[in-house]
Structure 1
Protein backbone atom coordinates (compact mmCIF):
# COMPACT_ATOMS: atom_id res chain seq x y z
CA UNK A 1 0.00 0.00 0.00
CA UNK A 2 1.32 3.46 -0.92
CA UNK A 3 2.06 5.69 2.03
CA UNK A 4 0.31 9.06 2.06
CA UNK A 5 1.52 12.50 3.06
CA UNK A 6 -0.16 15.68 4.28
CA UNK A 7 2.03 18.78 4.08
CA UNK A 8 0.97 22.06 5.69
CA UNK A 9 3.32 23.95 3.37
CA UNK A 10 0.91 23.19 0.52
CA UNK A 11 -1.92 25.06 2.28
CA UNK A 12 -1.31 28.70 3.21
CA UNK A 13 -1.83 29.46 6.89
CA UNK A 14 -1.43 32.43 9.20
CA UNK A 15 1.24 30.63 11.22
CA UNK A 16 3.27 29.50 8.16
CA UNK A 17 3.17 25.92 9.38
CA UNK A 18 5.75 23.55 7.89
CA UNK A 19 4.59 20.23 9.36
CA UNK A 20 4.51 17.16 7.12
CA UNK A 21 2.76 13.98 8.25
CA UNK A 22 3.46 10.69 6.46
CA UNK A 23 2.05 7.20 6.98
CA UNK A 24 -0.85 4.96 6.09
CA UNK A 25 -3.90 6.91 4.88
CA UNK A 26 -6.07 6.54 7.99
CA UNK A 27 -3.14 7.38 10.28
CA UNK A 28 -2.41 10.54 8.33
CA UNK A 29 -6.06 11.64 8.20
CA UNK A 30 -6.39 11.19 11.98
CA UNK A 31 -3.07 12.92 12.80
CA UNK A 32 -3.63 15.76 10.31
CA UNK A 33 -7.13 16.40 11.69
CA UNK A 34 -5.74 16.48 15.25
CA UNK A 35 -3.04 18.88 14.08
CA UNK A 36 -5.58 21.08 12.27
CA UNK A 37 -7.55 21.37 15.53
CA UNK A 38 -4.62 21.95 17.90
CA UNK A 39 -2.41 24.17 15.72
CA UNK A 40 -4.82 25.84 13.29
CA UNK A 41 -7.97 26.18 15.38
CA UNK A 42 -10.25 24.08 13.17
CA UNK A 43 -13.11 21.98 14.51
CA UNK A 44 -12.77 18.19 14.16
CA UNK A 45 -15.71 17.32 11.93
CA UNK A 46 -16.32 14.66 9.29
CA UNK A 47 -16.08 17.46 6.71
CA UNK A 48 -12.61 18.44 7.96
CA UNK A 49 -11.42 14.84 7.73
CA UNK A 50 -12.76 14.53 4.17
CA UNK A 51 -11.05 17.79 3.26
CA UNK A 52 -7.79 16.43 4.70
CA UNK A 53 -8.27 13.14 2.81
CA UNK A 54 -8.75 15.08 -0.44
CA UNK A 55 -5.45 16.91 0.07
CA UNK A 56 -3.33 13.79 0.64
CA UNK A 57 -0.74 12.82 -1.91
CA UNK A 58 1.29 9.70 -2.42
CA UNK A 59 4.51 9.97 -0.46
CA UNK A 60 6.69 9.55 -3.58
CA UNK A 61 4.83 12.17 -5.59
CA UNK A 62 5.48 15.86 -5.52
CA UNK A 63 7.82 18.56 -6.68
CA UNK A 64 11.58 18.55 -6.36
CA UNK A 65 12.23 18.75 -2.61
CA UNK A 66 13.16 22.13 -1.23
CA UNK A 67 16.90 22.42 -0.89
CA UNK A 68 17.58 20.27 -3.93
CA UNK A 69 17.44 22.45 -7.04
CA UNK A 70 21.10 22.04 -7.94
CA UNK A 71 23.56 19.17 -7.56
CA UNK A 72 27.29 19.14 -8.00
CA UNK A 73 28.75 15.77 -8.99
CA UNK A 74 32.43 15.36 -8.14
CA UNK A 75 34.24 12.42 -9.72
CA UNK A 76 37.66 11.41 -8.39
CA UNK A 77 39.97 8.50 -7.60
CA UNK A 78 41.87 7.91 -4.38
CA UNK A 79 43.35 5.09 -2.36
CA UNK A 80 43.08 7.25 0.78
CA UNK A 81 39.39 7.04 1.62
CA UNK A 82 39.94 7.06 5.40
CA UNK A 83 41.87 10.33 5.15
CA UNK A 84 39.21 11.72 2.82
CA UNK A 85 36.47 10.84 5.34
CA UNK A 86 38.41 12.65 8.08
CA UNK A 87 38.82 15.68 5.85
CA UNK A 88 35.10 15.75 5.05
CA UNK A 89 34.16 15.42 8.74
CA UNK A 90 36.49 18.31 9.57
CA UNK A 91 34.94 20.47 6.83
CA UNK A 92 31.43 19.72 8.14
CA UNK A 93 32.46 20.74 11.66
CA UNK A 94 34.15 23.94 10.50
CA UNK A 95 31.35 25.08 8.16
CA UNK A 96 28.38 24.43 10.45
CA UNK A 97 25.98 27.37 10.11
CA UNK A 98 27.86 28.75 7.08
CA UNK A 99 27.70 26.11 4.38
CA UNK A 100 24.85 26.11 1.88
CA UNK A 101 25.13 22.45 0.89
CA UNK A 102 22.08 20.59 2.18
CA UNK A 103 23.21 16.99 1.69
CA UNK A 104 26.14 15.00 0.37
CA UNK A 105 26.26 11.39 -0.78
CA UNK A 106 29.62 9.71 -1.38
CA UNK A 107 29.60 6.59 -3.55
CA UNK A 108 32.28 4.18 -4.75
CA UNK A 109 32.13 2.71 -8.24
CA UNK A 110 31.28 -0.98 -7.90
CA UNK A 111 33.29 -1.98 -10.98
CA UNK A 112 36.20 0.43 -10.49
CA UNK A 113 37.58 0.31 -6.94
CA UNK A 114 39.03 3.58 -5.64
CA UNK A 115 36.81 5.58 -8.05
CA UNK A 116 34.32 7.80 -6.21
CA UNK A 117 31.39 10.04 -7.04
CA UNK A 118 30.12 12.58 -4.55
CA UNK A 119 26.70 14.20 -5.04
CA UNK A 120 26.37 17.49 -3.17
CA UNK A 121 22.90 19.06 -3.08
CA UNK A 122 22.22 22.80 -2.92
CA UNK A 123 19.08 24.96 -2.90
CA UNK A 124 20.32 26.67 -6.10
CA UNK A 125 23.33 27.25 -8.33
CA UNK A 126 23.91 30.61 -6.61
CA UNK A 127 24.05 28.88 -3.22
CA UNK A 128 26.57 26.39 -4.61
CA UNK A 129 28.76 29.27 -5.78
CA UNK A 130 28.43 30.93 -2.37
CA UNK A 131 29.43 27.65 -0.70
CA UNK A 132 32.47 27.28 -2.96
CA UNK A 133 33.66 30.75 -1.89
CA UNK A 134 33.87 29.79 1.78
CA UNK A 135 37.53 29.73 2.86
CA UNK A 136 36.93 26.31 4.44
CA UNK A 137 35.64 24.94 1.13
CA UNK A 138 38.67 26.28 -0.73
CA UNK A 139 40.94 24.65 1.84
CA UNK A 140 38.99 21.37 1.58
CA UNK A 141 39.36 21.44 -2.19
CA UNK A 142 43.12 21.94 -2.00
CA UNK A 143 43.61 19.24 0.62
CA UNK A 144 41.28 16.87 -1.26
CA UNK A 145 43.33 17.27 -4.43
CA UNK A 146 46.36 16.15 -2.41
CA UNK A 147 44.56 12.90 -1.54
CA UNK A 148 43.40 12.19 -5.10
CA UNK A 149 45.27 10.22 -7.74
CA UNK A 150 44.47 12.91 -10.32
CA UNK A 151 42.36 16.03 -10.76
CA UNK A 152 38.73 15.65 -9.67
CA UNK A 153 36.10 16.27 -12.34
CA UNK A 154 33.21 18.57 -11.41
CA UNK A 155 29.77 18.42 -13.06
CA UNK A 156 27.20 21.17 -12.33
CA UNK A 157 23.68 19.79 -12.63
CA UNK A 158 20.24 21.43 -12.43
CA UNK A 159 17.71 19.08 -10.81
CA UNK A 160 14.71 18.56 -13.08
CA UNK A 161 13.05 15.68 -11.23
CA UNK A 162 13.53 14.01 -7.85
CA UNK A 163 11.26 11.63 -6.00
CA UNK A 164 11.35 9.03 -3.29
CA UNK A 165 10.67 5.55 -4.68
Structure 2
Protein backbone atom coordinates (compact mmCIF):
# COMPACT_ATOMS: atom_id res chain seq x y z
CA UNK A 1 0.00 0.00 0.00
CA UNK A 2 1.31 3.47 -0.91
CA UNK A 3 2.00 5.72 2.04
CA UNK A 4 0.37 9.16 2.11
CA UNK A 5 1.77 12.65 2.72
CA UNK A 6 0.21 15.76 4.25
CA UNK A 7 2.52 18.77 3.86
CA UNK A 8 1.59 22.06 5.58
CA UNK A 9 3.94 23.96 3.26
CA UNK A 10 1.41 23.39 0.47
CA UNK A 11 -1.33 25.18 2.41
CA UNK A 12 -0.58 28.82 3.28
CA UNK A 13 -1.06 29.66 6.95
CA UNK A 14 -0.50 32.54 9.33
CA UNK A 15 2.18 30.58 11.21
CA UNK A 16 4.09 29.50 8.07
CA UNK A 17 3.97 25.89 9.19
CA UNK A 18 6.47 23.45 7.67
CA UNK A 19 5.21 20.18 9.18
CA UNK A 20 5.04 17.11 6.94
CA UNK A 21 3.20 13.96 8.03
CA UNK A 22 3.80 10.63 6.26
CA UNK A 23 2.13 7.28 6.90
CA UNK A 24 -0.88 5.15 6.09
CA UNK A 25 -3.91 7.21 4.98
CA UNK A 26 -5.96 6.92 8.18
CA UNK A 27 -2.89 7.69 10.31
CA UNK A 28 -2.08 10.78 8.25
CA UNK A 29 -5.66 12.06 8.35
CA UNK A 30 -5.87 11.55 12.12
CA UNK A 31 -2.50 13.20 12.80
CA UNK A 32 -3.11 16.05 10.34
CA UNK A 33 -6.51 16.84 11.89
CA UNK A 34 -4.99 16.79 15.38
CA UNK A 35 -2.27 19.13 14.13
CA UNK A 36 -4.79 21.43 12.41
CA UNK A 37 -6.75 21.71 15.67
CA UNK A 38 -3.78 22.20 18.01
CA UNK A 39 -1.47 24.32 15.85
CA UNK A 40 -3.81 26.09 13.43
CA UNK A 41 -6.82 26.43 15.78
CA UNK A 42 -9.29 24.74 13.42
CA UNK A 43 -12.35 22.97 14.77
CA UNK A 44 -12.43 19.18 14.41
CA UNK A 45 -15.39 18.70 12.09
CA UNK A 46 -16.31 16.16 9.41
CA UNK A 47 -15.70 18.93 6.86
CA UNK A 48 -12.13 19.45 8.14
CA UNK A 49 -11.47 15.70 7.95
CA UNK A 50 -12.69 15.61 4.34
CA UNK A 51 -10.60 18.68 3.49
CA UNK A 52 -7.52 17.02 4.99
CA UNK A 53 -8.27 13.76 3.18
CA UNK A 54 -8.51 15.73 -0.09
CA UNK A 55 -5.14 17.43 0.33
CA UNK A 56 -3.03 14.36 1.08
CA UNK A 57 -1.04 12.82 -1.74
CA UNK A 58 0.68 9.55 -2.46
CA UNK A 59 4.20 9.63 -1.07
CA UNK A 60 5.73 8.80 -4.47
CA UNK A 61 3.71 11.50 -6.24
CA UNK A 62 4.51 14.03 -3.55
CA UNK A 63 8.22 13.37 -3.45
CA UNK A 64 9.20 11.82 -6.83
CA UNK A 65 12.62 10.93 -5.54
CA UNK A 66 12.66 14.15 -3.51
CA UNK A 67 12.34 16.55 -6.42
CA UNK A 68 10.24 17.64 -9.37
CA UNK A 69 11.97 20.89 -10.25
CA UNK A 70 15.59 21.95 -9.75
CA UNK A 71 17.22 25.31 -10.05
CA UNK A 72 20.94 25.17 -10.83
CA UNK A 73 22.87 28.30 -9.91
CA UNK A 74 26.41 28.69 -11.22
CA UNK A 75 28.64 31.39 -9.72
CA UNK A 76 32.23 32.29 -8.95
CA UNK A 77 33.40 33.57 -5.58
CA UNK A 78 36.49 33.61 -3.41
CA UNK A 79 34.30 34.33 -0.38
CA UNK A 80 32.74 30.91 0.23
CA UNK A 81 32.73 31.22 4.03
CA UNK A 82 30.80 34.50 3.84
CA UNK A 83 28.43 32.89 1.36
CA UNK A 84 27.88 29.92 3.68
CA UNK A 85 27.01 32.27 6.54
CA UNK A 86 24.61 34.12 4.26
CA UNK A 87 22.90 30.86 3.25
CA UNK A 88 22.64 29.78 6.90
CA UNK A 89 21.02 33.12 7.76
CA UNK A 90 18.55 32.73 4.89
CA UNK A 91 17.57 29.25 6.09
CA UNK A 92 16.77 30.58 9.55
CA UNK A 93 14.85 33.60 8.24
CA UNK A 94 12.75 31.56 5.79
CA UNK A 95 11.88 28.68 8.11
CA UNK A 96 8.26 27.70 7.50
CA UNK A 97 8.00 30.00 4.45
CA UNK A 98 10.46 28.70 1.92
CA UNK A 99 9.38 26.16 -0.65
CA UNK A 100 12.88 24.88 -1.41
CA UNK A 101 13.16 21.34 -0.07
CA UNK A 102 16.89 20.65 -0.40
CA UNK A 103 20.04 22.40 -1.53
CA UNK A 104 23.47 21.11 -2.49
CA UNK A 105 26.45 23.44 -2.86
CA UNK A 106 29.39 22.02 -4.81
CA UNK A 107 32.74 23.43 -5.88
CA UNK A 108 34.13 22.58 -9.30
CA UNK A 109 37.01 20.16 -8.77
CA UNK A 110 39.07 21.52 -11.71
CA UNK A 111 38.20 25.21 -11.32
CA UNK A 112 38.64 26.51 -7.77
CA UNK A 113 36.18 29.23 -6.71
CA UNK A 114 33.57 28.07 -9.26
CA UNK A 115 30.44 26.81 -7.51
CA UNK A 116 27.17 25.16 -8.40
CA UNK A 117 24.16 25.15 -6.13
CA UNK A 118 21.30 22.74 -6.85
CA UNK A 119 18.08 23.80 -5.17
CA UNK A 120 15.15 21.37 -5.26
CA UNK A 121 11.48 22.36 -5.28
CA UNK A 122 8.17 20.50 -5.46
CA UNK A 123 7.35 22.39 -8.70
CA UNK A 124 8.26 25.35 -10.89
CA UNK A 125 5.42 27.36 -9.32
CA UNK A 126 6.86 26.70 -5.84
CA UNK A 127 10.29 27.84 -7.06
CA UNK A 128 8.76 31.10 -8.29
CA UNK A 129 6.93 31.54 -5.00
CA UNK A 130 10.19 30.97 -3.15
CA UNK A 131 12.07 33.48 -5.32
CA UNK A 132 9.49 36.16 -4.47
CA UNK A 133 10.02 35.86 -0.72
CA UNK A 134 11.57 39.14 0.54
CA UNK A 135 14.29 37.10 2.25
CA UNK A 136 15.16 35.35 -1.03
CA UNK A 137 15.26 38.63 -2.92
CA UNK A 138 17.60 40.03 -0.26
CA UNK A 139 19.72 36.86 -0.41
CA UNK A 140 20.10 37.29 -4.18
CA UNK A 141 21.28 40.88 -3.82
CA UNK A 142 23.74 40.05 -1.05
CA UNK A 143 24.96 36.98 -2.94
CA UNK A 144 25.72 39.10 -6.01
CA UNK A 145 27.95 41.29 -3.82
CA UNK A 146 30.01 38.20 -2.92
CA UNK A 147 30.33 36.90 -6.48
CA UNK A 148 32.65 37.70 -9.31
CA UNK A 149 30.20 38.48 -12.10
CA UNK A 150 26.55 37.57 -12.31
CA UNK A 151 25.35 34.13 -11.21
CA UNK A 152 23.84 32.01 -13.98
CA UNK A 153 20.47 30.39 -13.28
CA UNK A 154 19.17 27.24 -14.99
CA UNK A 155 15.55 26.15 -14.40
CA UNK A 156 15.27 22.39 -14.82
CA UNK A 157 12.22 20.11 -14.84
CA UNK A 158 13.15 16.75 -13.35
CA UNK A 159 12.32 13.94 -15.76
CA UNK A 160 13.93 11.16 -13.78
CA UNK A 161 15.15 10.89 -10.19
CA UNK A 162 15.99 7.77 -8.27
CA UNK A 163 18.02 6.70 -5.30
CA UNK A 164 20.97 4.53 -6.35
Q: For this structure pair, what is the TM-score category when the shorter chain's length is used for normalisation?
A: 0.5 to 0.7
* Structure 2 unmatched runs, 5+: 6-22, 30-59
Say yes or no: does 1:159 pair with 2:158: yes
Q: Specify the alignment match of 1:143 in structure 2.
A: 142
Q: Distance in 2 between matches of 1:102 and 1:122?
A: 6
Q: SS of 1:100's equivalent? A: coil
Q: CA RMSD in A?
A: 2.4
Runs of 4+ aligned structure 1 residues displaced above 3 Å come to: none
Q: Retained in 2: the 8 A contact 1:65–1:162?
A: yes
Aligned residues: 116
* Structure 1 unmatched runs, 5+: 1-5, 19-61
CA offset digits 1:31-86 (Å, max 9, x no partner): xxxxxxxxxxxxxxxxxxxxxxxxxxxxxxx7762651100000000000000000
Say yes or no: does 1:117 pair with 2:116: yes
With over 3 angstroms needed to count, the CA separation of the structure-2 counterparts of 1:140 and 1:163, relative to structure 1, is same
CA offset digits 1:83-142 (Å, max 9, x no partner): 000000000000000000000000000000000000000000000000000000000000
Q: Distance in 2 between matches of 1:77 and 1:71?
A: 20
Q: Distance in 1 between matches of 2:92 and 2:111?
A: 30
Q: SS of 1:71's equivalent? A: strand
Q: Specify the alignment match of 1:133 in structure 2.
A: 132
| CA displacement at 1:14 relative to structure 2 | 4.9
Q: Specify the alignment match of 1:89 in structure 2.
A: 88
* Higher percent of residues as helix: 2
Q: Distance in 2 between matches of 1:14 and 1:143?
A: 43
Q: Retained in 2: the 8 A contact 1:67–1:124?
A: no
| Structure exhibiting the larger radius of gyration computed from Cα positions | 1
Q: Distance in 1 between matches of 2:100 and 2:25?
A: 30
